[in-house]
Amino acid sequence: MRELRIRLLAGVFAVAGALSWAGARLWNSIGTVPSVPLAAPVVLALIAVVLTATALSIRARLKAQRERDPGAKGVDPLMAARAVVFGQASALVAALVSGMYGGTGVFLLESLDIPARRDQAVYAGFSVVAGIAVIAAAIFLERVCKLPEDDDRNTGATSTA
């Protein structure tokens, strides 16, 4: 499994942001602006919490297993691999969605004097922050599931524990 690349995520964010900004300008010329739902930052924050909880759980189980605690539950390699795949997919989607809401939010900054657009800009800002939290949690999960010998060889490919 390949490691998440920050440059790829930043590129997805930037392209989605630019397209979203251009789309919002186009939509505004028609007379409407795409809305940012209140649920967007909430859902992204929940995904970040789930990823972080999964990473902390796996890390605690691995630590107990390393210290040979009696009754320590091991980590199933397939479960760890699934968690990493979920994290990577979540990070890619979060970069895309955050870029879209970021581009819309940048467009909405031009008209903060209108209360409805100001609220939409705030929701967009919170969505970007929550998306960054998803990406950070996914990277943390990936680091937790990385095998120790992968650090020594540094081959570019990542295996999971």
> Stretch 103-126: mean pLDDT, rounded?
90
Considering the entire predicted model, what is its pTM? 0.84
Distance CA 17, CA 28 (A): 16
Q: Using the predicted structure, report yes or no on whether residue 160 has a pLDDT greater than 80.
A: no
Q: How far from the centroid of its chain's Cα atoms is residue 101's Cα?
A: 13
Q: How far from the centroid of its chain's Cα atoms is residue 37's Cα?
A: 18
Q: Residue 72: left (phi > 0), alpha (psi -120 to 50), or beta?
A: beta
Q: Output the average pLDDT for the chain.
A: 87
Give 4's contacts (C-beta < 8 A, 6+ positions apart). 87, 88, 91, 138, 139, 142
Distance CA 155, CA 135 (A): 23
How do residues 6-53 score in pLDDT, each as one tens digit? 999 999 999 999 999 999 999 888 877 778 898 999 999 999 999 999
- Residues of the chain with pLDDT > 70: what percent? 90
